[in-house]
Amino acid sequence: MTEKQLSGEVYYPSEEILKNANAKCQKLYSFAEKDYLGFWESEASNLNWFKKWDKVLDDSNKPFFQWFINGKTNIAYNCLDVHCENFRRNKIALFWEGENGDIRSFSYFALRRDTCRFANVLKSMGVNKGDRVTIYMGRIPEAIIAMLACARIGAIHSVVYGGFSVEALHERLEDSQSKVLIVADGAFQRGKIVELKKIADEALQRAATVESVLVVKRTGQEINMEFGRDMWYHELMHLPIASSRCDIEVMDAEDPLFLLYTSGTTGKPKAILHTHGGYMVGTYATCKYVFDIHEEDRFWCTADPGWITGHSYVVYGPLLNGATSFIYEGAPTYPYPNRWWQMIEKYGINILYTAPTAIRGFMRFGDAWVKRNNLSSLRLLGSVGEPINPEAWKWYYKVVGGERCPIMDTWWQTETGMFMITSMPCTPLKPGSGTKPFPGLQVDIVDEGGNSVNTNDEGYLVIKTPWPAMLRTIWNNPDAYVQQYWSKFPGMYMTGDSARRDEDGYYWIIGRVDDVIKVSGYRLGSAEIESALVSHPSVAEAAAIGLPHEVKGNAIHAFIILRTGYEKTDKLIEDLKQHVGHEVGPIAKPEQIEVVDSLPKTRSGKIMRRVLKAHALGIDPGNISTLEE
């Protein structure tokens, strides 16, 4: 990357950033370009294995790739024990602030101790290697302890975002056939209590496989505890079964680590499967190089553990690197719009990783709220979840980062497990571009025929080389894995995004090309919202689309056909919004619901959401030759 040749508006890293960066960019890129398996192997060698792998990649059964063949390890061992055995026993692994001002912190020693104790509790509930455990909590340390405890004993965790509601939780419990549910009584959000246990009770009425429910006391309100099924976490943790000695389950590199449900083009959310070995190597290396983790850093990824960003960059990536990770329970602007900035100052956060929707939300309150606090500890910033518009990028860079902190715009997905297209501290930045593929990855933009498009032309974003943290399959549905990701362009992983590449080889993500809607960076499927709507007695048919929104990026707009006997009233529309909130979760509530007489469909009966979107935006719908008369 020779600086002067880059086109457009470019921000170059300072000498100081360059001097200290872990990633010596050119070296890393050229090593990985020459020998991408060698690159991943050298990263894997920095971690601890009970038995070394025989081979780095097995691609004999594409697209079911396998990594670190016959290697034996355990990600939780690498997150905790390794640091306790070495020099980080007393280092803070995790510190936390509740929305109500509660504070807790865990050294690596304490986090391992509590993880072991809880792992023993799980064992005593009959949880064995390969069993599924669902975790449904707010952003509290116990969510992380529960994840690590599962990993330690080889159980597969399935974290369900605490913002999801009854039906979403029920579906995930059923599909994963979870044996145990770990839930909090509630979570604090904007000064109110989200009644998680109450939602869980409703979801559990139809979840046949759950034998035990372990309840963490966070908010303390009166809740229902079902005798013989529900037990308090704090009581169990004080029983003799909760010993702080717990042997580590030796896991094959390819053994499952977790399921995480995400929305796709059709039907219900699918469970993406990640493994102990490859996922560990991918999150370790990307976190180290992109966020340039140094020993004294305090790292804050604002994501919820219920999303992939929380899994990879709140929990696993930072802990694998022996870093200090901060989590905050509540709403960003509660009680005042400078809550985040106060905490950055108070705790001396060095690296802040968040989403464009949060940045846009803060921009609305003006610079003065940010400037009230001293943010000079910040060294690096990050962005994820959706394209960051250049205006928000510049505000983030200038007002939050004081024009000294490079912004790591990280493009990736639940499925990729780790950063795929991203800047590194040494990369010259262009606002709004994720810059280049991470070393060791071959990314391309192709047309309908699978051929690379010309510079600056829009096309499908695809990945042409396997990578260690890639999803291995869709749980219980390998055919859907092949169909959804590998069938449109044989030999290429289809991301579902469109993008263009400029004359400097920089990637610019445009957005989803399927029926996935990104609302405030959260991923929702049109189909989920539509099925929630038609589950209401008044709705015969429904279509949901995303339309641009100043803060959320996209907002959901729904079109419905009412059943005979129902009339459009303001009350009915409000009831329908509440109904979607109850079924899926508050984030899925439509911004607007329009009652229509018919919906545009293809002759085979598929709703043409693209036509609805064009109509709503007042733009040309493009090719409508398949539209029904």
Whose Cβ is closer to ligand PRX: residue 148's or residue 290's?
290
Interface with ligand PRX includes 357 (CB under 6 A)?
no
In the bound complex, what is the minimum distance in angstroms from residue 423's beta carbon to ligand PRX? 10
Contacts of 201 (CB under 8 A, 6+ apart): 224, 226
Question: What is the nearest approach in angstroms of ligand PRX to the Cβ of residue 51?
Answer: 32
Task: Let me know: does 552 contact 519? Beta carbons within 8 Å.
Answer: yes
Among 166, 180, 308, 314, binds ligand PRX (CB under 6 A): 308
The interface region with ligand PRX, picked from 48-56, 436-444, 494-502, 541-549 by CB under 6 A, is 494-502
Tell me the closest approach of the beta carbon of residue 260 to ligand PRX, in angstroms.
9
Shortest reach from residue 386's CB to ligand PRX, in Å = 5
496 touches ligand PRX (CB under 6 A): yes
- Check binding of 274 to ligand PRX (CB under 6 A): no
Report in angstroms how near the CB of residue 354 gets to ligand PRX at its nearest: 11
Both structure tokens of 176: 């994963």
CB closer to ligand PRX out of 518 and 589: 518
Task: Say whether residue 414 binds ligand PRX (CB under 6 A).
Answer: yes
Residue type, 97: E
Which parts of 108-218 are beta strand (E)? 132-136, 156-159, 180-184, 187-189, 192-194, 212-216
Site string for ligand PRX, 218-257 (x = CB under 6 A): ----------------------------------------
Separation of alpha carbons 200 and 406, rounded Å:
42
Residue from 98, 163, 330, 387 touching ligand PRX (CB under 6 A): that is 387
Measured from the Cβ of residue 345, the count of other Cβ atoms closer than 10 Å reads: 17
The least distance separating ligand PRX from the CB of residue 1, rounded to whole angstroms, comes to 20
Question: Taking the CB of residue 480, how many other CB atoms lie within 10 A of it?
Answer: 16
Looking at 183-191, 213-221, 407-415, 554-562, which segment touches ligand PRX (CB under 6 A)?
Answer: 407-415
Residue with tokens 């697209």: 63
Least gap, CB of 483 to ligand PRX (angstroms): 17
* 6-14, 156-164, 235-243, 412-420 -> range binding ligand PRX (CB under 6 A): 412-420
Output the six-digit token pair for 180.
């145990």
Among 386, 444, 515, 530, binds ligand PRX (CB under 6 A): 386
Q: In this complex, which beta carbon is closest to ligand PRX, that of residue 418 or of residue 533?
A: 418
Q: Which H or E element spans position 414? A: none
Q: Which of 154, 163, 337, 385 binds ligand PRX (CB under 6 A)?
A: 385
Residue position matching structure tokens 């509590």: 114
Sign of CA dihedral 67, 71, 75, 81: negative
Q: Which two tokens stand for residue 258?
A: 């977790």
Q: Which residues contact 295 (CB under 8 A, 6 or more apart)?
A: 322
What is d(CA 434, CA 513) in angstroms, rounded to the nearest whole number? 18
Phi, psi (degrees; rounded to nearest 5) at 624: -120, 30
> Nearest-5° angle of CA 501, CA 506, CA 509?
60
Residue ranges in 309-328 that form contacts with ligand PRX under rule CB under 6 A: 309
Q: How far is the CB of 135 from ligand PRX (least distance, A)?
A: 18
Sign of CA dihedral 219, 209, 310, 275: positive
- Beta-bridge partner residues of 558: 544, 593
- The C-alpha atoms of residue 209 and residue 225 are separated, in whole angstroms, by 18
3-state secondary structure 560-586: EEECCCCCCCHHHHHHHHHHHHHHCCH
From the list 50-58, 236-244, 385-393, 611-619, the region that binds ligand PRX by CB under 6 A is: 385-393
Dist. CA 252–CA 275, nearest whole Å? 9
If the CB atoms of residues 141 and 387 are measured against ligand PRX, the closer one turns out to be 387
Distance CA 263, CA 607 (A): 18
Stretch in the footprint of ligand PRX (CB under 6 A) among 15-23, 190-198, 340-348, 378-386: 378-386
Contact window for ligand PRX (CB under 6 A) among 162-170, 450-458, 463-471, 491-499 = 491-499
**DSSP single-letter state for residue 320:** H
CB 496 within 8 Å of CB 74: no
Q: What is d(CA 100, CA 246) in angstroms, rounded to the nearest whole number?
A: 34
Judged by CB, which is closer to ligand PRX: 105, or 498? 498
Comparing CB distances to ligand PRX, the nearer of 499 and 542 is: 499
Could you tell me the smallest distance in angstroms from the CB atom of residue 13 to ligand PRX? 19
Q: Which residue has the tokens 């129902």?
A: 566
Query: Tokens 């469109």 belong to which residue?
Result: 498
CB of 174 to ligand PRX, least distance (A): 22
Question: d(Cα 284, Cα 154) in Å, to the nearest integer?
Answer: 19
Q: Quick one: which segment of 147-155, 320-328, 331-339, 405-413 binds ligand PRX (CB under 6 A)? A: 405-413
Asked if residue 148 binds ligand PRX (CB under 6 A), the reply is no
How far apart are alpha carbons 617 and 552 in whole angstroms?
17
What does residue 193 show for φ and ψ, rounded to 5 degrees?
A: -105, 125
Q: Which of 120, 354, 410, 520 binds ligand PRX (CB under 6 A)?
A: 410
| Piece of the chain touching ligand PRX by CB under 6 A; list 82-90, 145-153, 383-391, 549-557 | 383-391
Interacting span for ligand PRX (CB under 6 A) from 63-71, 113-121, 127-135, 408-416: 408-416
* 409 touches ligand PRX (CB under 6 A): yes
The distance from CA 97 to its chain's CA centroid, rounded to whole angstroms, is: 21
Which residues inside 508-547 make contact with ligand PRX, applying CB under 6 A? 509, 512, 518, 523
Is there binding between residue 495 and ligand PRX (CB under 6 A)?
A: yes
User: Per CB under 6 A, which of residues 163..182 are in contact with ligand PRX?
Assistant: none
Which of the ranges 82-90, 450-458, 495-503, 572-580 carries the binding residues for ligand PRX, by CB under 6 A? 495-503
Binding interface with ligand PRX (CB under 6 A): 262, 308-309, 383-387, 409-414, 434, 495-497, 509, 512, 518, 523
